[in-house]
Structure formats: structure tokens, C-alpha cells
Amino acid sequence: MLEPEALDHLAPDDPVAQRSRRDLRRVNAFMGARGILERALTRALGDTAARPLRVLELGCGDGRLMLGVAQHRGTRWPSVQLDLLDRQPIVDAATIAAYAAAGWQARPMVADVLDWAAASGDGEHWDLVVANLFLHHFEGEALRRVLGGCVSRASALAACEPRRSRFALAASHLIFFLGANAVTRRDGVLSVRAGFVGAELSEAWPGGPGAWRLDEYDEGLFTHCLCASRVGATS
Ligand SMILES: C[S@@+](CC[C@H](N)C(=O)[O-])C[C@H]1O[C@@H](n2cnc3c(N)ncnc32)[C@H](O)[C@@H]1O
């Protein structure tokens, strides 16, 4: 049974939440999240990265992690239209402007992911869905619904999640060394407990692999990834 993370229930303008989101940036930097995510994107997309891309990030938080990807990728992905979905309105105008400076056209979308997943009849489609530290907020039927949204609305998925290991759990108790506040410290431990191992994400893929190529692996010390591509979409 998942225990809810505190940050999800704090108002966006609560100073404790704002501090915790800054902590999250340090945690991502410590975990090497940008590089891990970039490699997952390349794995999920294959050759499709040569043409203009429509990308959606689920549970984007403040949108700063993908901004790092945009600034690093720059002209290697000539035209990216990025939708940044989160339940909370926390992507600010300065972040959107920074995307524009990096050559990406970004737009915040304030929505619950389960509503997004259920709205598959609206005709919207993305080349790639991205998620970082997000899928572990869901289990069972809710996780299958989120993944089902990707199956019906996207050509590829790159997800980087906490790895549920003893080592990661021990490390999650030490994030006060990164200056994290009480919310981040508690949520960090809950995230690892809710994380994934082995083929758990592939096994939750609705209908099994079928027309999808699923690639689930560990990277670094703390991260567990799923890259999924619709067969035929990347060549
Ligand atoms: C641990 S944070 C990760 C943020 C960002 N991906 C990162 O790596 O910095 C999880 C994010 O998911 C969002 N979230 C949680 N449940 C959600 C839901 N049902 N629909 C949309 N967003 C949700 C939270 O608001 C939060 O910003």
C-alpha cells in the first residue's frame, strides 16, 4: 500500500514546499538524473529524434529537470514542443522563457495524470512521454491507467524512477547531507519504498508488450528505468 508523499499535498506557494522542490533539484543532481534521463530518451526514441518532436513530461514538478535536458541537447533536437504536466501550477514564466532561449517551445499543463490518461479520445498525440520520479506515485490499477494513457496517446515512453533496493533505502536516510528539509527527507524514503525493481514496470504494461518494445533496466546506484517504443515508430 503506497503512503502518500507530503509534497503532493502542500500548496505550491507554501515555503516548505518551495524549499522541498529546491531540495529535489539537488537530489536529482546528486543522482545524475539529467544524464540518465537523456540516455533513456535516446533509447526510447531511436532515430525519431531527427525530426520535430512533440514531448510530454508527466509530473514535471517545476520543469527544471527537462530544462537541463533542453539546454544540453540544444540544436541536436531542432524543434521540440514540450508540454509540462503537473497537478500543481509550479512551472513559472522564467522557466518557460529559459526553454525558449534553449530553442524549445514549452507550455505548462495543470492536470491530474489520471484525467489525462482517460482523455484519449481528444485526438492529442505525443512522440514521447517522459517521467522522472513520478510513476512510483501509482500502483496496481492506477499505474496501469497511467501506462495505458501512454499506450493510447504516445509513440514512446522514457521513465526514470527510484530503485527499490536496500542500498537506495539506506542512502535515502542520508539525504539530510544534501541539506534536505523534513518533507524531502520523509518523501525520499517513501519514494524508494514505492520504487521499482526487475521487470515490475513491464509487467504492469497494459496488454503486455504486443506492439511495444519494452526495455527495463537499472542505471546508476539509485535509478530504475523503463523505455518503451511502439514497434515501427523509431525506424
Ligand atoms: C517527486 S515530484 C517529481 C518532480 C519532477 N519530475 C522532478 O524530477 O523534479 C512528483 C511530481 O508529481 C506531481 N504529481 C503527483 N501526483 C500527480 C497526479 N496525480 N497528476 C499530476 N501530477 C502529479 C507532484 O505535484 C510532483 O510535482
Residue 235 pLDDT class (50, 70, 90 cuts): very low
**Contact at 8 Å (CB) between 21 and 7?**
yes
Classify residue 185 as exposed, middle or buried by CB count within 10 Å of its CB (0-12, 13-18, 19+): middle
Task: For the chain, give every domain's residue range.
Answer: 6-230
Task: Give the pLDDT confidence of 161-175 residue by residue, as tens digits.
Answer: 999 999 999 999 988
Mean pLDDT across the chain, nearest whole number?
Answer: 92
Output the residue whose Cα is nearest ligand 1's atom 1.
133
Distances (CA, A) of 167 to 4, 31, 72, 214, 221: 22, 13, 30, 26, 8
Which set of grid coordinates corresponds to residue 218? 537499472
Which whole number is the average pLDDT over 94-106?
Answer: 96
For ligand 1, the distance from its centroid to the CA atom of residue 219, given in whole angstroms, is 21
Q: Is the pLDDT of residue 96 over 50?
A: yes
Q: What pLDDT does 209 receive?
A: 67
Give the C-alpha separation, 173 to 95, whole Å.
31
Fold of 6-230: Rossmann fold (3.40.50)
Give the C-alpha separation, 218 to 225, whole Å.
6
Give the C-alpha separation, 221 to 31, whole Å.
8
Task: Give the pLDDT confidence of 217-234 residue by residue, as tens digits.
Answer: 999 999 999 999 998 765
Task: Give the pLDDT confidence of 6-50 residue by residue, as tens digits.
Answer: 998 899 999 999 999 999 999 999 999 999 999 999 999 886 655
Output the residue whose Cα is nearest ligand 1's atom 13.
59
Neighbours of 123 (CB within 10 A): 7
Question: Which atom of ligand 1 approaches the CA of 21 most closely?
Answer: 9
Give the C-alpha separation, 96 to 98, whole Å.
5
Give the C-alpha separation, 58 to 87, whole Å.
9
Closest CA to 117 of 80, 142, 81, 88: 142
For ligand 1, the distance from its centroid to the CA atom of residue 134, given in whole angstroms, is 6
